[in-house]
């Protein structure tokens, strides 16, 4: 039986040829990057408060695309990855919270199946018995590992969880975990809504027209937006948004607070975390956007909303 293969809006392709892969490899060998300048850790981590908090709304950046979101009395994780290696690369920065220090997790949302967003080694060590919300096509990967509380979602699906809405929305990306499963599961972002507050976890994406469509359906408050793994842009732009386009997407989404992610933990492309932040700050200033709308978190820092 043939597998379903999922696609992007307008059938935008992220497939790269062997020639393009070799061209990128040649470019990378010619670049010298400073990998000793790291994204800082938070100085005053609030681990004890996070372990006991069931009232206040908080967002803590663990690193890369992993956040602990405390909302509506629940502990929610996005793309939980604590892995110290990603392929041949070592993790550049320590996770902001050690797994042993996490509170009991109620909900996990997964954006897609790439290994830097779905790490079963990390999931197996989570505290609690969470429900997993995953893109359509990915449930079987959980089921064969014994996970039963798994709910699949298509784009625009919405779930009611203890008076909180969880919605799966489009992104422009792709996925692959083995030789033959390219795009056999979907990809997207997750929006959490409760009491007129919302968090949009964008996931992994290139810039695409879907941002304007998402804005028509949701009143967005806090946006967790990727800014890294964009270089070289001729190769990466279809699947990884650069800092300037990330800001453009934020403007189109009409959000209130921009929190950057997907930078500084793993070297997935040729840019570095500090480079991504430098470009983000420069474009923010160039567009004369309010400083109050940009919240750049240190690793392990908690934003009390």
Closest by alpha carbon to 109, among 199, 183, 236?
A: 199
Three-state DSSP class for residue 13: coil
Handedness of CA 126, 130, 135, 140 (dihedral sign): positive
* Per-residue pLDDT band at 1 (split at 50, 70, 90): low
Strands 58-63 and 66-71: antiparallel
pLDDT range class, residue 162, cuts 50, 70, 90: very high
pLDDT per residue over 18-71, tens digit each? 999 999 998 888 888 888 899 999 999 999 999 999 999 999 999 999 999 999
Using DSSP bridges, classify how beta strands 131-135 and 150-153 pair: parallel, antiparallel or unpaired.
parallel
What CA–CA distance (Å, rounded) separates 208 from 185?
A: 20
> What pLDDT score does 256 carry?
97
- State the pLDDT at residue 80: 98
Q: Is the pLDDT of residue 274 over 70?
A: yes
Architecture in CATH of 39-304: 4-Layer Sandwich (3.60)
Residue 151, pLDDT > 60, answer yes
Crossing angle for the helix pair 243-253 and 273-286, to the nearest 10 degrees: 50
- The residues with which 289 forms a beta bridge, in sequence order, are none
- Among the ranges given (33-37, 148-152, 168-172), the one the predictor scored with the smallest mean pLDDT: 33-37
- Whether residue 2 is predicted with pLDDT greater than 70 in this model: the reply is no
Q: Which long-range contacts (CB under 8 A, 24 or more apart) does 139-144 make?
A: 141/113, 141/177, 141/185
Over residues 152-174, mean pLDDT: 97
Average pLDDT (276-286) is 98
Supply the DSSP symbol for 297.
P
DSSP labels for 127-170? Answer: SS-PEEEEETT-HHHHHTTT---EEEE-TT-EEEETTEEEEEE-
104, 75 contact by CB (below 8 A) = yes
């Amino acid at each position: 039986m043939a597998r379903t293969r999922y696609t992007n809006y307008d059938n935008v392709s992220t497939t790269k040829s062997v020639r393009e892969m070799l061209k990128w490899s040649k470019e990378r060998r010619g670049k010298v990057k400073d990998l000793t300048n790291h994204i800082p850790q938070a100085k005053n981590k609030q681990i004890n408060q996070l372990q006991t908090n069931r009232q206040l709304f908080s967002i803590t950046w663990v690193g890369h695309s992993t956040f602990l979101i405390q909302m509506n009395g629940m502990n929610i994780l996005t793309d939980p990855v604590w892995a110290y290696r990603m392929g041949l690369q070592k993790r550049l920065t320590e996770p902001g919270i050690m797994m042993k220090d996490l509170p009991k997790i109620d909900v996990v949302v997964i954006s897609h199946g790439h290994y830097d967003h779905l790490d079963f080694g990390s999931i197996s060590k989570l505290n609690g018995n969470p429900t997993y919300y995953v893109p359509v096509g990915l449930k079987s990967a959980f089921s064969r590992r014994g996970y039963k509380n798994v709910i699949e979602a298509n784009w625009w699906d919405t779930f009611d969880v203890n008076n909180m809405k969880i919605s799966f929305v489009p992104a422009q990306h792709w996925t692959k975990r083995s030789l033959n499963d390219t795009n056999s599961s979907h990809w997207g972002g997750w929006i959490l809504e409760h009491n007129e507050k919302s968090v949009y976890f964008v996931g992994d994406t290139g810039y695409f027209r879907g941002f304007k469509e998402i804005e028509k359906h949701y009143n967005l408050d806090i946006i967790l937006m990727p800014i890294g793994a964009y270089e070289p842009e001729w190769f990466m732009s279809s699947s990884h948004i650069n800092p300037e386009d990330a800001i453009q997407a934020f403007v189109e989404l009409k959000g209130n607070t921009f929190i950057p992610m997907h930078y500084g933990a793993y070297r997935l492309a040729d840019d570095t975390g500090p480079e991504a932040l430098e470009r983000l700050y420069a474009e923010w200033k160039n567009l004369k956007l309010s400083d109050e709308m940009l919240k750049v978190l240190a690793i392990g820092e908690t934003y009390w909303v």
